[in-house]
Chain A
Amino acid sequence: MSGVVWSVSAALFLLGLAGVALRRQLLAMFLGLELMVLTAALALGCTASLSGRGEGFVAALLVLAVAAAEAVVGLVLILRVRSSGRPAETQSLRELKG
């Protein structure tokens, strides 16, 4: 598992993490989220190809499928927030606290 794969996937993962943590719009955060998941899938795939163990590919594929399902739900929620008249930003989701 060469260092190149790890440095790339780590960088991408941190990029996605930053996207989720720092952005205010929900959609931007969602993109960050998807980036993180796909980076993991990428890492799995590359590792599998390098080590020749087929399991990694199976895992990557399944991860993609599950991520897709998750994405659907995420988008639905963001749309519901928009349709309820609030801007799709973290600031509008402040009522529950304490």
Chain B
Amino acid sequence: MNWERLLKIDRRVIFLTMALAIILPLLFPIRLTMGVQRVTRNLFQAVEAIDPARQCLLISTDYTPQTEPENHPMAKALMRHGFARRVPVLVNALYVEGAPLIDQAITEVMGDFNARATSREDSILYGRDIVYLGWQPPPIVPILAMGESITGIYPDDYYGNRTDSLEVMRRIRNYADVGIVVAITPLSSPLWYVQFAQTKYGVKVGAGCTAVCAPDFYPYCATGQLSGMMAGMKGAAEYEELVEQKYRTGGRLKATEGMASQSAAHVLIMVFVILGNVAYFAMRRKS
């Protein structure tokens, strides 16, 4: 075997095998079982603790379509959880780029619920069970201003309704009425909420972050500044499982389906690392 050749393998070979590892499981899907991490369970518990009569769940999003595969299932799973518990859900977008995506998520999850609803009480109604506050730049402004008045900083919702005319907004005024803010992000917006909203107004904050940010947030979960989090696609899949186990809400479990490709890609990278090291040591012994 020519170890030297293996060591200096063309990057394009790696790229190609990687592409195959991702595509094949998508074409021939399998479903894998997994364990649930503590931080995910904590977030689930924190949402369980919201008092539906008095408080709401605020989902703050600042992801763009680029991290859709990771962040989108998180937003949907949270909405499902909120709807299943009849907790009013407020959603905002910190950046305009992601705003249309949230609209799509709301439509999809509302559609799932309402397709099975039998009465008006049973359905998810816009303005009563969910409000999409839309987008106000720059992000720091709404984060601070929601401590005073949510309708003040979001006078109109995403669809152009006056927010103060919506049923649920009459009792949800500011962070005092927010059970937990879950910031879904590819960046560090949960920390902005911790630094600017929690320090000043004491609101609970949770995170739904891409896997890349997760290591950064563990310290905050340990100190309790973050009540819990969904870390990456796996976190989203776990949350989907938790909601599904408890409430049987149905709907597509996007994150769970993607886990097969994930596994293949991870295993491939590990195989590459092993190959690289075997070749490296074989070369070293030779020289």
Query: Do A and B truly interact?
Result: no
Please give the residue numbers on chain A whose beta carbons come within 8 Å of chain B beta carbons, in ascending order.
none
Please give the residue numbers on chain B whose beta carbons come within 8 Å of chain A beta carbons, in ascending order.
none
